[in-house]
Amino acid sequence: GQQVMQIPQYQHVQEGEDFTTYCNSSTTLSNIQWYKQRPGGHPVFLIQLVKSGEVKKQKRLTFQFGEAKKNSSLHITATQTTDVGTYFCASGANNLFFGTGTRLTVIP
């Protein structure tokens, strides 16, 4: 399957700090999706990026797709305790393959 590497694996931040997770691929991606999984929950779709250089925002969340379509990032501004969970990127040509995930802990 298509390999999408995600870093960091874990991130601990103080509430109010920013957070970023990165996805990288050695090959050009047709698209990239982002999912969030709360502790004890299931992955929930956040957004999809398709175009080179695309930037999308959802309130405090900013998603970017690289110009070469080989990397993507999710940035959260001023984290809140409700942001805790594991964030996954996912991509694929015919089928969707998930990155390794970044587990975010927000310390109140």
Partner 1 sequence: DTAVSQTPKYLVTQMGNDKSIKCEQNLGHDTMYWYKQDSKKFLKIMFSYNNKELIINETVPNRFSPKSPDKAHLNLHINSLELGDSAVYFCASSHTGTAQETQYFGPGTRLLVL
* Minimum distance of partner 1 from residue 24's CB (angstroms): 17
* Minimum distance of partner 1 from residue 16's CB (angstroms): 25
Nearer Cβ to partner 1 (33/64): 33
Any contact of residue 91 with partner 1 (CB under 8 A)? yes
Q: Which residues sit opposite 36 in a β-bridge?
A: 44, 87
Phi, psi of 22 (to 5 degrees): -125, 145
- Of residues 50, 68, 78, 107, which one binds partner 1 by CB under 8 A? 50
- In contact, 103 and 84? CB cutoff 8 Å: no
DSSP helix/strand/coil, 52? coil
